[in-house]
Amino acid sequence: MDRKVLATAIAVAVIGSGLTACGNDPEASPSPATSISTATTPTPTTATPSATPTPSENPLFTEAKAVHALYMAQILSLEKAGGAETLPPGLEALVTGKYRKDVQDAYRKLKSIGSHADSNSTYQVKWIHQSQPKPGTTFAIRACVDASGVTIRDRSGNISGKGTLRQDDFSLIRRDNRLVIADGDSIRVKKCSG
């Protein structure tokens, strides 16, 4: 399977307007997630794992979970706004390199086609685990995200798709003394694998 950049996955899914069809085919192979995220700010309807460390938890893992939670909140806000020409400062601070460019390109495309997530769209992070970092990165996480609470509408306001269960993989690097996402992908799955 080809590597799918998380941000590009959203743009492809939204532009193709095939979200519902892809999400309902139980025999379909993994494909891009239909929605990256769903929480403008942490709200009672958005479940995110705690960034509070347990006594034995790796401090990098605690920091990576916090970055993931902020990223998800920023992405949902951008989806609800219908994309943007430039990344908002809060999201810009969380991504770097080619991944930053891919995220920006995806949300420019979203803006150009006029789609957006409903204002009441939500996601639920089922779990986050430490995973194997890609070469040249510092730390990695895998998250299982239930994005079925996301509804995508087209320019006319018609429902064009629903989110699905997806598995996110992020590799992070240290920049300016904090972790940022340098590489990522998201695939639609029937069941997340840890």
The predicted-structure confidence for 63-109, as pLDDT tens digits, reads as follows: 999 999 999 999 999 999 999 999 999 999 999 999 999 999 999 99
**One-letter identity of residue 160:** S
Cβ-contact 143, 167 below 8 angstroms: yes
Model confidence pLDDT, tens digit, residues 141-164: 999 999 999 999 999 999 999 999
Q: Find the helix or strand (DSSP H, E) in which 147 lies.
A: none
How confident is the model at residue 193, as a pLDDT? Answer: 84
**Alpha carbon distances (Å) from 138 to 11, 49, 172, 183:** 27, 21, 6, 11
| pTM summary value | 0.74
Q: Which pLDDT score, from 0 to 100, does residue 124 have?
A: 94
Angle at CA 88, nearest 5°, toward 146 and 49?
30
Sequence-distant (≥ 6) Cβ neighbours of residue 74 within 8 angstroms: 37, 88, 90, 91, 94
Q: Who contacts 85 (Cβ-Cβ below 8 Å, separation ≥6)?
A: 108, 111
From residue 191, how far is each of 11, 34, 43 by CA, in Å? 23, 15, 25
